[in-house]
A and B are shown apart, each in its own frame.
Chain A
Amino acid sequence: MTAILIKEPKQARSKALVHSILETTTELLLSHGMKELTTNLIAQQSGVNIASLYQYFPNKESIVAKLIERHVDEEIQRITAVMTEVAKESKSSGQGLIQEKNIRKIIKEFIDVHTENLQLTQLLHMQVSHLACRHMLQSATLFLSTIFEKMLDKEGVFKGEDNTVRAYIITQSIDSLVQTTLIEHPDLFVKPVFLEELVQLSMRYLLK
Chain B
Amino acid sequence: MTDLKINIPTQSRSKAVVDAILEAATRILIAKGIDKLTTNHIAEVAGVSIGSLYQYFANKESIVARLIETHKEKEFERISNIMNQLEQNPTCQISQCERKKNIRLVVNEIIDIHTENLELTRILHSQSVHLSQFKTFKNTTVFLTQLLNSLLDKVDKIRGKQNYTRAYILANSLDSLIQKTLIDQPQLFIRPEFTDELVNLSMGYLQAA
Contact = CB atoms under 8 A, between A and B. Distances in A.
23 contacts: A129-B133, A165-B197, A168-B188, A169-B197, A169-B201, A170-B201, A172-B176, A172-B180, A172-B181, A173-B177, A173-B201, A176-B176, A177-B169, A177-B172, A181-B172, A193-B162, A197-B166, A201-B169, A201-B170, A201-B204, A204-B205, A204-B207, A208-B200
A166 B169 contact: no
A180 B172 contact: yes
B205 A201 contact: yes
Interface string B125-141: 00001001100000001
Contacts of A169: 177, 197-198, 201
A119 B10 CA distance: 51
Interface in A158-207: 165-166, 168-170, 172-173, 176-177, 180-181, 185, 188, 191, 193-194, 197-198, 200-201, 204-205
A192 to B, nearest CB: 11
B97 to A, nearest CB: 16
B165 A176 contact: no
A130 B166 contact: no
Contact of B193 (A129, A165, A185, A208): A165
Interface in B164-209: 165-166, 168-170, 172-173, 176-177, 180-181, 188, 193-194, 197-198, 200-201, 203-205, 207, 209
- Place the interface of chain A in its size category: 20 to 34
Contacts of B194: 165
Contact of B169 (A170, A198, A208): A198
Contacts of B168: 185, 188
B193 A173 contact: no
A201 to B, nearest CB: 5
A142 B198 CA distance: 19
Contacts of A185: 168
A138 to B, nearest CB: 8
Nearest to A191: B165
A69 B141 CA distance: 28
Given A168-B188, A205-B200, 4 more contacts: A169-B201, A173-B176, A173-B201, A201-B205
B169 to A, nearest CB: 5
B165 A188 contact: yes
Contacts of B200: 205, 208
Nearest to B209: A200
Nearest to B161: A193
Given A165-B193, A177-B172, A200-B209, A208 B177 contact: no
A195 to B, nearest CB: 11
B169 A165 contact: no
Most interface-central of B169, B176, B177 (chain A CB within 10 A): B169
A185 B169 CA distance: 12
Most interface-central of B129, B177, B198, B207 (chain A CB within 10 A): B177
B201 A205 contact: yes
A157 to B, nearest CB: 11
Given A165-B197, A166-B197, A176 B204 contact: no
B200 to A, nearest CB: 6
A201 B170 CA distance: 9
